[in-house]
Amino acid sequence: MLNNPTLTRLRQLALTASLLAASLQIWACGPARVASSPAEGEWNNLSPGICRIESGPDKTPSLLDTAGVIPRMQKLIKLPETSFPVDESEISIRIDGGQTYLRFPLEDEEQLFGLGLNFKHVNQRGRIFRLHMDHYGGRDNGRTHAPVPFVLSSKGYGILIDSPRYITVYAGTGVTRDSNHPAVPRDRNTDRNWTPRPRSDNLEVVIPGEYARVFLFAGTNMMDCVRRYNLFCGGGFIPPKWGLGFWQRTPTLFSEEDVKKEVAEFAERDFPLDVIGLEPGWHSKSYPCTFSWDSGRFPDPAGFIKQMKNQGINLNLWMNPYVSPDSPIYSEILPYSGSHTVWNGLVADYTIPEAAEIFKGHIEKELTGIGISGFKVDETDGFDHWLWPDTAVFPSGTSGEQMRQTYGLRVLRLIDEVYRDAGQRTYGLTRASNAGGVRLPYVLYNDYYSHRDFITALINSGFNGVLWTPEVRSGGSAEDWVRRMQTVCFSPLAMINAWADGTKPWSYPEVYEECQEAAYLRMQLLPYIYSVFADYYFNGTPPFYALNLLEDFYNTTVPTAGKPADTGKSELDSTANPYSERTREEIRDQYMFGPSIMVAPLFAGEEERDVFLPNGDWYDFYTGRHAGRAQTVRVKPGLGRIPVFVRDGAIIPMLKNRLRQTSEWKDVPLEVRVYGKGEGSFLLYDDDGKSYEYQEGEYSSRMLSTKLDNTGNLSGGVEELVSDSTWPYPEITWKYMTGSQAGKE
Amino acid sequence: MLNNPTLTRLRQLALTASLLAASLQIWACGPARVASSPAEGEWNNLSPGICRIESGPDKTPSLLDTAGVIPRMQKLIKLPETSFPVDESEISIRIDGGQTYLRFPLEDEEQLFGLGLNFKHVNQRGRIFRLHMDHYGGRDNGRTHAPVPFVLSSKGYGILIDSPRYITVYAGTGVTRDSNHPAVPRDRNTDRNWTPRPRSDNLEVVIPGEYARVFLFAGTNMMDCVRRYNLFCGGGFIPPKWGLGFWQRTPTLFSEEDVKKEVAEFAERDFPLDVIGLEPGWHSKSYPCTFSWDSGRFPDPAGFIKQMKNQGINLNLWMNPYVSPDSPIYSEILPYSGSHTVWNGLVADYTIPEAAEIFKGHIEKELTGIGISGFKVDETDGFDHWLWPDTAVFPSGTSGEQMRQTYGLRVLRLIDEVYRDAGQRTYGLTRASNAGGVRLPYVLYNDYYSHRDFITALINSGFNGVLWTPEVRSGGSAEDWVRRMQTVCFSPLAMINAWADGTKPWSYPEVYEECQEAAYLRMQLLPYIYSVFADYYFNGTPPFYALNLLEDFYNTTVPTAGKPADTGKSELDSTANPYSERTREEIRDQYMFGPSIMVAPLFAGEEERDVFLPNGDWYDFYTGRHAGRAQTVRVKPGLGRIPVFVRDGAIIPMLKNRLRQTSEWKDVPLEVRVYGKGEGSFLLYDDDGKSYEYQEGEYSSRMLSTKLDNTGNLSGGVEELVSDSTWPYPEITWKYMTGSQAGKE
């Protein structure tokens, strides 16, 4: 938790900054200051609030092109004009000695977000990143599953450095001698205000190679910048409906028969289940993979898949993309492969169309064509000692480094093409993404498994155009198990991954009912969740995001509530803290889920926790009772509930009944919960749940809204905006959760 | 501890490798395989066993030139010819897309050492490093105080990549598709021998930029390669005699009067003391520094220094090299400074002679000229967020990256020049060194403070041409304190650094006598230690080194002694070890000190420990009793002793009396201890202890040797080899420590 005086100060300054920003010039894309450069660049206006500069002779491929991004220009050109809150004469691009150096100005209390999927911190100012695709290693240093070179400023702009290189970013650390905003020299001998980090007024970047391609995104606020960034990357996506149900990944070497028993047990124990994920063992060989069925464990894949479909179960297949010598595609793909192998498997160069076609043709024929609903693409992130070194050579001429930054994206793109060609949506898992991955229907995961850090990753995913699942594998205790089960049900992909541990929802029988409750709550929330994803596709709004993206966040003044002030200093210790460095606090354990819901998970070992409530009234999701406004509250909800809060005026459409599978999600009554005392609205969305026809306009939507009458009571109304034949809610009930109306329907 | 079956296997294979090597061609420096390169290079033979290749158009400065290295060619050309145990047609250099790629072949059980001052591991094969000057951050990944691009192979050769860039080294991780030694593909589904790390047969390197300058060093064994490498870098050095006495660094803001009291207390309590180190507070301002005295705390520096000298005390001054706006040299050095500041201090560009002269002139005038004996140069390593970013620009055109890799070296070189010009030796501390630093009389230290990892650093220092002190700051307990005091007394620099904690040797009164004992033991060992350093200067032999450099190490067959075998697998765990990765063991807590002494420190919490004794007989240093041979023994020496072992035939010259200060080290009786039953010899060295005249031949040396008579008894003899007027030992006593002769003098 951010402590309060700091928060207040930050908010005040952010306000000042945004007032200042409004008075600056409308974004005019003139020439940037380009020093000692063999090639000069100019800013090009691409659409309102989006601008690009290219500089340097040595065109490296674009990260966005690699991802196959087609910017959603039709949407973008309609957005309002906006001013860019940075003096562009203070931006510099310099090319020197084989490297490209960028510099952007920073104001004193400006905060920076994004810069890859970080797990420890939300505000990245003062940190240094070398963006490098890798398994997250416990430090926010740029090595992560989505080393996205996008940085978002609290001043209301974003910068994308569109390069698949290992980019180094100094996010407000360097102090220059000739600064316009010089830092104050201090004597550590005697001055107690000495700090090891004097004020830095810049964000500096090193791109290896002599080329820069940089995009700037402005907006009316931070969220607006994120939306423009996401839309520019092709927008978000709407998962197939089954993808939002519950997933269970079975242990390695599970056979057809094992899976059938597992599915039956879920039904018997009345636990939601939409997807079974098969882990290593369905391939005839794995690590590297054959991409062909093991005929012993799966004698009749097509029949088995059909049987599962009939029971409402979709199958997802684990794979790593490295081609086993025993794969049927091995010899065909060999000439298109890199110099180095991974676990002795080929690393195919999928920038070559022939290689891409071999892979796509094979999975279409053997897997997707017989009904496999999607994939989990493993091992495209790291570690360095598993994957090819940067010395690797690929037949297309793509370097080892560039291939490393983008291999995950490439593979996802191939699979996406197969499903798109079939007109069928997919939803899957990946361990690697990057800028441009926004439009690809995949959720990131890893082996790191810190519950608390998983929540920070969920928060940061929203700044980076990716999704993240805090998947559940094992539990240190029944308490840990239920707390993890609760958070995963409030994430983009609710899943147990039992590949190594063989866990099941009932692994801790003493908390089974609590787990069941969390899973069914997710199922009931499907209308809300599905609409949240529609907003991701149509408007680029991230489904999961930091509280910092709420407009009211920086305006909130929280009473100090007896907390110690941040003195900016810690105790001197010769070894633990020889620079008496200040420790910073921030909100890294609460996140927004859609427009109205805020989740504040509990972690094993905690019976209660503090929850920060920004400006505006907030209500308890379960009871509708007023929880507070602009304050920190302490909650102690018991094992059965994850703390969830709802904004005033929130309208949360839910399924009235408990459905165990999304296949039952048609012709069902809808219950619309209304929270608080203010008017509100919510765009309820639906479509066929499986095809891409929604992208051609085939969907339905209803505007749910509430109005205050003379007596101060709310009443709900429905307005049909777009309709197709699939609208699943024959009946809508309004349920008022708060105040004198509570309990009334 | 390496477990035994593995050790045995490694040794067998190393033997095979060295036999193979002997049968390979004499090193003929023909053209290397240089693929897709705009410039081809050829190997040039520089001296027996040393060869260089240069390739690429884009000459970056040399690391060795930056350090001011003058190879000791007169020594090197006299060394025997040697074969180079690598098939040179398997070495490749490729320049592509702005980067340079190197590849060297590796045999199956070849081990690799060096690659910077690592703290966790000794054998670096299978690891990946990006060599980057930084404060060590707890991981052996290339970020360290001496990111030396030198790798030593157990096959008996070394490679130096002489570049001040961030070099990436894949030390046996990459597996290539077209390998001559292909790895075996395995199916993780069912093959229990599947490993996440298939056999790699190469060492691969990425150098940013289009230029490679590579040296190869061969020798008759690994130690011989290290010696040639050290001599090529200008050789080691002999510290001034006072440098080998005991050091105490006083707390920050200590005044003249405080220091005088401290010195008096050391005398009163009878604790050795040769050097007082002044920490922040002697400068008028620090962080950044003025390099001028604070007249309040030090009203009469020259008088104070003289007074200290009269009491046998030398003064060492802490500094960081960043120039305060209040320094007298600020405005003069401003035009020669980099774009970025450190704590608002200037970062002077000392590659520019004018800047170097300003700094040298100032410290000569204010500090060295009035008798300051040396410096501790702090803050030249990291962290990234303290120092200048890679975007920094320097007036000479040196890049921020290159400046970072070499700034420490540069500053040490300046100070070294001041003392050399005065004909006076210095000895000091630094937090940054690099290849080429061998000749500079500095010892590395840091803030990391893991006692166990400090020992591994001491071991690894010997592979990297640097020295390391496990300096003592604080103690977690009396036991921790005494264990640390013992090891620091068996290191190149015996010091308490009380800058923040105010500790003194008597901080834990219950172990004061044990600490005193350790310090006096070091003082008694001075004749041995000084001779060990002479071997560093004359022959390049590192004073402190790994057991792996003992010729007998790989020949030793250790009985398994009931230890579990290394199965090469660990338990599968979905989160802690999802790849069931094998854990490797090695000897990282025992080190050699000179030719005869092996130290096996104890750490807090241990009352006893295992000690690995290689081939040949080993004896207890204290008792002379036989300790074992080719075996692992368990020792439990009590708090008062650090386990120390001596090789058979060892001759250890010691001072007979306990001297508290090196100023007393003249006209004193010498006691020569003889261990074991075999004949031996030791070259006892002496000189004036303070000037550089030893480099002009002004020194004395005596060959001490023992001979066996008919009855199996040893008798010692002395042969005068070189003499000058300062020989300090009017009287030599032989003391036989072992067997029936024990106790006889």
Range from A19-23, A209-213, A244-248, B376-380 carrying the lowest mean pLDDT: A19-23
Q: Please, are residues A10 and A554 in contact by the beta-carbon 8 Å criterion?
A: yes
Structure confidence at residue B683 as a pLDDT band (50, 70, 90)? very high
Q: Regarding predicted confidence, which is higher, A617 or B61?
A: A617
Render pLDDT for B192-239 as a digit per residue (tens, 0 to 9): 989 889 999 999 999 999 999 999 999 999 999 999 999 999 999 999
C-alpha distance from B603 to closest chain A C-alpha (Å) = 18
**A:B CB pairs within 8 Å:** 218
Poorest-pLDDT segment among A642-651, B189-198, B262-271: B189-198
Distance CA B742, CA B737 (A): 4
Q: Mutating which of A201, A575, A582 best tests the B interface, going by the most B Cβ atoms within 10 A?
A: A575
Q: pTM here?
A: 0.92
For residue B83, what pLDDT is reported? 86
Among B621, B535, B689, which Cα is nearest to B226's?
Answer: B535
Q: What is the pLDDT of residue A5?
A: 39
Q: What percent of chain A has pLDDT over 90?
A: 83
* Chain B residues touching residue A496 (CB < 8 angstroms): none
**B173 to chain A, minimum CA–CA distance in Å?**
6
Per-residue model confidence (pLDDT) at position A674: 98
CA of B704, closest CA in chain A: separation in Å?
A: 44
Q: For the packed helices B478-489 and B451-461, what is the interaxial angle rounded to 10 degrees? A: 10
Burial B355-368 (b: 16+ CB within 10 A, else e): bbebbbebbbebbb
Q: What is the dihedral of CA B460, B463, B468, B474, to 10 degrees?
A: 0
B177-196 confidence digits (pLDDT tens): 999 888 888 899 999 989 88
Average the pLDDT over B134-152 and give the result: 98
Best residue in A143, A472, A574 to probe B by mutation, most B CBs within 10 Å? A574
**Residue of A58, A188, A253, A447 to mutate, interface with B, max B Cβ within 10 Å:** A188
CB contact under 8 A, B128 and A385: yes
Tokens of A327: 């794969």
Chain A residue numbers touching B97 (CB-CB < 8 A): 209, 399
Among positive and negative, which fits the CA dihedral B319, B320, B326, B327?
positive
Residue in chain B nearest A290 by alpha carbon: B187
pLDDT band at A88 (very low <50, low <70, confident <90, very high): confident
Any residues with CB less than 8 A from the CB of A137 and at least 6 apart, and which?
A143
Rounded to two decimals, the ipTM of the complex is 0.91
Q: How much is the average pLDDT of B156-178?
A: 97
Q: Does the pLDDT value for residue A18 go beyond 60?
A: no
**Residue A168: strand pairing partners:** A130, A206
3 state SS of A491 = coil
Q: Which residues of B touch A252 (CB under 8 A)?
A: 189
Place of tokens 């509280």: A547
CA pair distance B550, B110, nearest whole angstrom: 16
B634: Cα separation from own chain's centroid: 28
Helices marked H in A216-375? 222-232, 256-268, 301-310, 330-333, 353-366
Confidence of residue B18 (pLDDT cuts 50, 70, 90): very low
Does A151 score more than 50 pLDDT?
yes
Could you give the CA distance from residue B425 to residue B368 in angstroms, rounded to a whole number? Answer: 11
State the nearest Cα–Cα gap between A117 and chain B, in angstroms.
Answer: 19
pLDDT score of A578: 67
Quick one: closest CA in A to B398, which residue? Answer: A97
For residue B576, what pLDDT band results from cuts at 50, 70 and 90?
A: low
pLDDT at A585: 59
pLDDT at residue B578, rounded to an integer: 67
| Cα distance between residue B633 and residue A522, in whole Å | 61
Q: Is the pLDDT of residue B369 over 90?
A: yes
Supply the pLDDT for residue A109: 83
Q: At what angle do helices B512-524 and B526-539 cross, to 10 degrees?
A: 50
- Euclidean distance between CA atoms B219 and B222, whole angstroms: 7
Q: pLDDT for A319-336, tens place per residue? A: 999 999 999 999 999 999
Average pLDDT over residues A461-488: 98
A343 contact residues in B (CB cutoff 8 A): 185-186, 188, 194, 196, 198
* Cβ <8 Å between B126 and A388: no
* Contact predicate B707/B594, CB 8 Å: no
The pLDDT of A469-474, averaged and rounded, is: 97
More confident residue, B527 or A739: B527
* Contact state of A189 with B286 under an 8 Å Cβ cutoff: yes
> Per-residue pLDDT for B2 more than 60?
no
The residue of chain B nearest to residue A342, with distances taken between CA atoms, is: B175
Asked if residues B137 and B147 have their Cβ atoms less than 8 Å apart, the reply is: no
CB atoms within 10 A of CB B306: 12
Residue A572 binned pLDDT confidence (cut-offs 50, 70, 90): low
* Mean pLDDT of the A556-577 span: 51
- The whole-number average pLDDT for the span A133-160 is 97
CA–CA separation, A171 and A168 (whole Å): 9
The CA distance from B381 to B136, in Å, is 9
B212-218/B112-114 β-pairing? unpaired
Query: Which of A396, A435, A442, A444 minimizes the C-alpha distance to A415?
Result: A442
**A15-29, A173-187, B93-107, B570-584: range with highest mean pLDDT:** B93-107
Assess whether pLDDT exceeds 90 at residue A570.
Answer: no
Asked if B175's CB is within 8 angstroms of A340's CB, the reply is yes
Nearest to A575 among B252, B384, B447 (CB): B447
Give how far the C-alpha of residue B314 lies from the chain's centroid of Cα atoms, to the nearest Å.
23
What is the rounded CA–CA span in Å between residue B532 and residue B552?
Answer: 20
DSSP state of B693: G
In this model, does residue B559 exceed pLDDT 50? no
Contacts of A176 in chain B (CB under 8 A): 339-341
Alpha-carbon gap, residue A627 to A608, rounded angstroms: 15
The residue of chain B nearest to residue A325, with distances taken between CA atoms, is B185
Structure tokens at A247: 């997933």
Chain A residue closest in CA terms to B127:
A385
Tens digit of pLDDT for each residue in A380-411? 999 999 999 999 999 999 999 999 999 999 99
Arithmetic mean of pLDDT over chain A: 91
Closest residue of chain A to B384, computed from CA coordinates:
A128
Nearest to A662 by CA among A688, A695, A641: A688
Q: From the CA of A742, how many Å to the nearest CA of chain B?
A: 45
Contacts of A98 in chain B (CB under 8 A): 58, 98, 208-210
Residue A412 CB: number of other CB atoms within 10 A?
Answer: 26
Q: What is the pLDDT of residue B185?
A: 84
Is the pLDDT reported for residue B22 higher than 50?
no
Q: Is the pLDDT of residue A103 over 90?
A: yes
Name the band, by pLDDT with cuts 50, 70 and 90, for residue B85: confident
**Which chain B residues are closer than 8 Å to A135 by Cβ?**
none
> How far is A89 from chain B, CA to nearest CA, in Å?
18
CB contact under 8 A, B572 and A389: no
Report residue A522 CA to chain centroid gap.
18
Which candidate from A187, A338, A499 shows the least CB-CB separation from B285?
A187
Cα dihedral B239/B240/B241/B242 (nearest 10):
-110
Q: Which two tokens stand for residue B546?
A: 């790994």
What does the alpha-carbon distance between residue A396 and residue B97 come to, in Å, rounded to a whole number? 13
Amino acid at B130: R
**Chain A residues near residue B579 by CB distance under 8 angstroms:** 386
Q: Where are the beta strands (DSSP E) in B383-530?
A: 428-430, 442-444, 494-497
Are B170 and A391 a contacting pair at CB < 8 A? yes
User: Is it true that the peptide bond before A383 is cis, omega within 30 degrees of 0?
Assistant: yes
How many angstroms separate the CA of residue A474 from the nearest CA in chain B? 8
β-strand A175-176 against A275-278: which pairing, if any?
unpaired
For testing contact with chain B, the best of A95, A100, A177 (most B CBs within 10 A): A177
Tell me the pLDDT tens digit for each residue of B442-461: 999 999 999 999 999 999 99
Cβ–Cβ contacts within 10 Å for residue A25, how many?
A: 11
Confidence (pLDDT) at B743: 65
pLDDT at residue number B19: 32
Of chain A, the percentage scoring pLDDT greater than 70 comes to 90
Check: CB of residue A244 under 8 Å from CB of residue A524.
no
Backbone angles phi and psi of B312, in degrees to 5? 80, 20
CB A139 within 8 A of CB A474: no
Gap from A657 CA to chain B (nearest CA, Å): 36
Mind listing the pLDDT tens digit for each residue in A275-329? 999 999 999 999 999 999 999 999 999 999 999 999 999 999 999 999 999 999 9
Alpha helices in A233-352 (DSSP H): 256-268, 301-310, 330-333
Q: What pLDDT does A567 receive?
A: 37
What is the arithmetic mean of pLDDT over A516-541? 98
List, for residues A24-78, the tens digit of each pLDDT value: 333 444 444 433 443 467 889 999 999 999 998 877 889 999 999 999 999 999 9
Are A173 and B384 inside 8 Å of each other by CB?
yes
Query: Which residues of A fall within a CB distance of 8 Å from B501?
Result: 574
> What is the reported pLDDT for B446?
97
Residue B694: strand, helix, or coil: helix
Q: Which pLDDT does position A529 carry in this prediction?
A: 98
Q: Under a CB-based contact definition with an 8 Å cutoff, are residues A436 and A68 in contact? A: yes
| Three-state DSSP class for residue B278 | strand
Of B524, B531, B479, B533, the C-alpha closest to B642 is B479
